[in-house]
Structure 1
Amino acid sequence: MNIVTKFTIATDQGIETLLALTRQLAMEKYSELVDARELDHYITENYHRKALIDELNSMSNQWLVVYADNAPAGYARITTRGKKPRFLEGKRSVRIADFGILHAFPSPAIRDSLFEKCLSVCRSHQDVQIWVNEHPGSPWIKLFESNGFTRIQDACELDDLPLESVCLIA
């Protein structure tokens, strides 16, 4: 299997790829945790063409898509925006946001490709803390913890969803 993780920009193809991935991953990630109407509202508000174009064109974000044999398998957003935990106030930080791989692509090599690229991008920033915010049942928490991220006690919130969260910092 050929696995490649690439930056995505605001081209028609990039936008269409992200529209499909963001919506499908939000459904896979939250459908059992959030009321269907609330999840539909979240997806409608956050993952439409204009919102993605604005996010792709923001200097605060870098979007990565991992491909398996040229099929989009997952994505992550590296950002300096978001509701930071108190621990990071006044400090330079970057966040790995929306990290996810579609259930149809369970290969650890796909996950590792996206994760390694995220770390590479984050570490290119000098003197920053890397942080992640996930819901408590996320399968990604174990991945981050096994790669040096530690949980902090600060109360964190998931962006726009009424779920508890776990904040991890490296």
Structure 2
Amino acid sequence: METTQTITTRFVVVNEANIQALFSLITTLGKEQYGHLLTGKQLDAYLVTFTPQQLASDINNFSNQWLMVYAGSEPAGYALITSAGSRPDDLTDKKVKRLAGFGVLQQYADSGCKEALIKKCLQISQSYDALWMHEYTGNPLLPFFEENKFLPTGQQAALDNLPLQGIYLIRRK
């Protein structure tokens, strides 16, 4: 008999347990998402940009909102909503936020975690004209984002921290 785990999404506050959980999620998701696309050296160069100290600083930055989704009591994924980043050309002079990070561990892919996490992200951003993201063109979550009304703009640019081609997606109000 299979038991259903409770899915919860919470804002991340700075404490040692949250920082360690978020750091572990980012590292594991980085390997899951990019390990097959990058050399070991490229992946290491990307992951070394994340440290517990840097994450604590980012969480305390008022421009950022970090979320973690839990399956039961286990951290299963995270999202980062921020005002930072080079926005797509057609969002100039608009009140927008960026979904700069979004991921759920593979073991929780079909658990409802990504749906709960995107729902919370959309609730947070509802007072803005748009929520945008810059994702690599081969991201397996692109159909999921499009199902949630994120539409590709056609504008492409290399990702900031990775040697991968990226595409902009926008979810307008």
Q: Under a length normalisation based on structure 2, what TM-score does the superposition of the two structures give?
A: 0.91
Higher strand content, 1 or 2? 2
Q: Which runs of 4+ in 1 moved over 3 A?
A: none
Cα distance in 2 for residues equivalent to 1:85 and 1:22: 25
Q: Report the secondary structure of 2:157's partner residue.
A: coil
Q: 1:99 aligns with which of 90, 102, 113?
A: 102
User: Which position in structure 1 is the counterpart of 2:20?
Assistant: 16
Give the letter for the 1:60 counterpart.
S
Unmatched 5+ residue regions in structure 2? none
User: Which position in structure 2 is the counterpart of 1:163?
Assistant: 164
Q: Indicate conservation of the 8 Å contact 1:85/1:156, yes or no.
A: no
Give the letter for the 1:166 counterpart.
I
Q: Indicate conservation of the 8 Å contact 1:133/1:168, yes or no.
A: yes
Q: What CA deviation, in whole Å up to 9, does each residue of 1:37-93 have, x standing for no partner?
A: 011011112x10121011111111100100001100000101111121222223221
Question: What percent of counterpart residues are identical?
Answer: 35
Cα distance in 2 for residues equivalent to 1:163 and 1:134: 9
Q: What CA deviation, in whole Å up to 9, does each residue of 1:116-168 have, x standing for no partner?
A: 01111111xx3421111111111211111112121102233322111101211
- RMSD between aligned residues: 1.2
User: Which position in structure 1 is the counterpart of 2:39?
Assistant: 35
Cα distance in 1 for residues equivalent to 2:151 and 2:141: 13
Q: Report the secondary structure of 1:27's partner residue.
A: helix
Q: Report the secondary structure of 1:83's partner residue.
A: coil
Q: Indicate conservation of the 8 Å contact 2:132/2:170, yes or no.
A: yes
Cα distance in 2 for residues equivalent to 1:119 and 1:154: 22
Q: Under a length normalisation based on structure 1, what TM-score does the superposition of the two structures give?
A: 0.93
Cα distance in 2 for residues equivalent to 1:51 and 1:156: 26
Aligned length: 167
Q: Within 5 A, what are the aligned runs for 1:122-161? A: 122-123=125-126, 126-161=127-162
Unmatched 5+ residue regions in structure 1? none
